[in-house]
Structure 1
């Protein structure tokens, strides 16, 4: 049967060269997104979430040591496209990115409307008037008055600038929008307002989203599925309702137990220890040093195991239930029952 995924990512990797060595920021990540679906990539700061977004969009720094894996968009392997064709056919027109701290990304000396219209003028060669008319339509969609099109970024509040950057990402009608911590610098009311805008766009346009965040509460607002990232790897990928009610990975369970709730008597629990350095990640399970359920097999790198439809978890505990491994990238076999990098 043909793959119905809008986006499929297989064994994606991004490693940085630093003075201290190679940082394995994204290390064998695999997932897929259906059309009209919202995938939330959840994880602690420094786990590789933003690097994942930059890899998908080819917005890479100069100190890249290695980029690998395969990315397929609507049946086309876009990771194999030359840079020029990728910029022309994919960036902004098929996939758009709202960067972290994007409120500061607007050019302070160019009016907001002109900046939102720019992708249409550059990529599609639209005349200025037509591009501005389309920008006005998107302004209305994200809840901004057309009056703001003639203002400069410093004349807008933080929430308004965030909406303007979202409008810029939506103006060319991409199939997929990647949002990197879109509400992290906003107050609670503005965060709720931005999330309502995203839900409206998803409902009315059928746009797919990748929402990158460390905020569990924010992620629950939009998520159809959740991918939990830890130390450069995805440790669990599943339906959002199942993740928030029945998380399978020990890290998932501890993360959910750390979130305060209005109607609970127990105090939120902390997660002891700290994530491993991505300069020298452990050979086995990367969460093992912090895991209360660690046992001998955790000294070896666990495979991604299928639990339910489109639900995978990277944990040896679930291998005890006779789950068969699903490859998350090329791995060599060590002793029986283990998989080593």
Structure 2
């Protein structure tokens, strides 16, 4: 881990037990996040993005079959910590999560101000007056009127609720904030406002972000780097400019070709086929059945291949002897 690395994830697995069998939602994921960096985890629905966020924050359902790997936050091994130590010393204090649907994260019968100050009151034992003063600061930071501190979630618009949830995540000044589809239920103008707010917070506070999304356009607004996820695995990690202009993995290329643009000569091209079931994923490359460049070696599970300093691709095309 370098001096600038804040979070390092190595071979992370999160599997669920279901009636039909074990779902391998996160299956050997590795990446890192630097200080004051925004890493976008991009991928289609069902690929394991939200499960990755739950594994990092240890917000796990009861049907967990396996959690393993290494998650290191600034030198602290998180998976080795007891639940009580993690809740007291890491959750909301050093690492916070903004949930996908703001109404699911807010208690409808408690005023939003009381919910925002809860991490300070419970984890840091701050007196109420001091905690509310901090809530006022954070509301001003995220662009919410302090009058809303006394309101209930149902009295706020969707965009305002999303800003309140973001304020809740920022109130204890964590080093890393994980955003799980923070704009998915919002209109286009509100989405733009939230993304501009996140860019300003990153610039002014130096906070690191992991943005989880399926929206290529939204991700390009904030990303410093992109980790593309497919069928429970990360298949490419690259700087944002490289990824959006010169994607390397076949799935990356097809994904970018499917995005509509204002000025383009060709129509967007759909990605045909379906991703594999995570109950019984194939033993080789998981994208092989949809890949136009598939060849014999793809029957083996591909390993990450480095293309430059910080670019890695999980594809045999870039191995020695691969047909690029």
Normalised-by-shorter TM-score class = over 0.9
Alpha-carbon separation, structure 1, partners of 2:255 and 2:67: 30
Match of 2:256 in 1: 256
The alpha carbon displacement at 1:2 in A equals 4.5
The alpha carbon displacement at 1:211 in A equals 0.3
| 281-290 vs 95-104, which moves further | 95-104
Match of 1:329 in 2: none
Is contact 1:103-1:165 (8 Å) kept? no
The alpha carbon displacement at 1:75 in A equals 1.2
* RMSD of aligned alpha carbons: 1.0
Match of 1:289 in 2: 289
Q: Which structure 1 segments of 5+ residues have no match?
A: 323-341
Alpha-carbon separation, structure 1, partners of 2:3 and 2:122: 32
Alpha-carbon separation, structure 2, partners of 1:102 and 1:22: 29
Match of 2:125 in 1: 125
Is contact 1:37-1:207 (8 Å) kept? yes
Match of 1:339 in 2: none
Match of 1:231 in 2: 231
Match of 1:300 in 2: 300
Alpha-carbon separation, structure 2, partners of 1:289 and 1:25: 19
Match of 1:279 in 2: 279
Which structure 2 residues correspond to residues 61-72 of structure 1 after superposition, within 5 A? Answer: 61-72=61-72
1:136-156 CA-partner distances (Å, limit 9, x unpaired): 100001000111111111110
Matched residue of 2:5: which SS? coil
Match of 1:332 in 2: none
Alpha-carbon separation, structure 2, partners of 1:192 and 1:269: 26
The alpha carbon displacement at 1:308 in A equals 1.2
Is it true that 1:18 corresponds to 2:18 in the alignment?
yes
Which structure 2 residues correspond to residues 1-341 of structure 1 after superposition, within 5 A? Answer: 2-320=2-320
Alpha-carbon separation, structure 2, partners of 1:143 and 1:309: 38
Matched residue of 1:6: which SS? strand
User: When the two structures are superposed, what TM-score results if normalisation uses the length of structure 2?
Assistant: 0.98
Is contact 1:9-1:72 (8 Å) kept? yes
Alpha-carbon separation, structure 1, partners of 2:104 and 2:85: 28
Matched residue of 2:319: which SS? helix
Alpha-carbon separation, structure 1, partners of 2:15 and 2:153: 35
Matched residue of 2:69: which SS? strand
Alpha-carbon separation, structure 1, partners of 2:105 and 2:94: 21
The alpha carbon displacement at 1:321 in A equals 6.2
Alpha-carbon separation, structure 1, partners of 2:263 and 2:103: 35
Match of 1:336 in 2: none
1:11-61 CA-partner distances (Å, limit 9, x unpaired): 000000000100000000000000000000000000000000000000000
Alpha-carbon separation, structure 1, partners of 2:2 and 2:166: 32
Matched residue of 2:274: which SS? coil
Alpha-carbon separation, structure 1, partners of 2:100 and 2:18: 22
Alpha-carbon separation, structure 2, partners of 1:4 and 1:193: 29
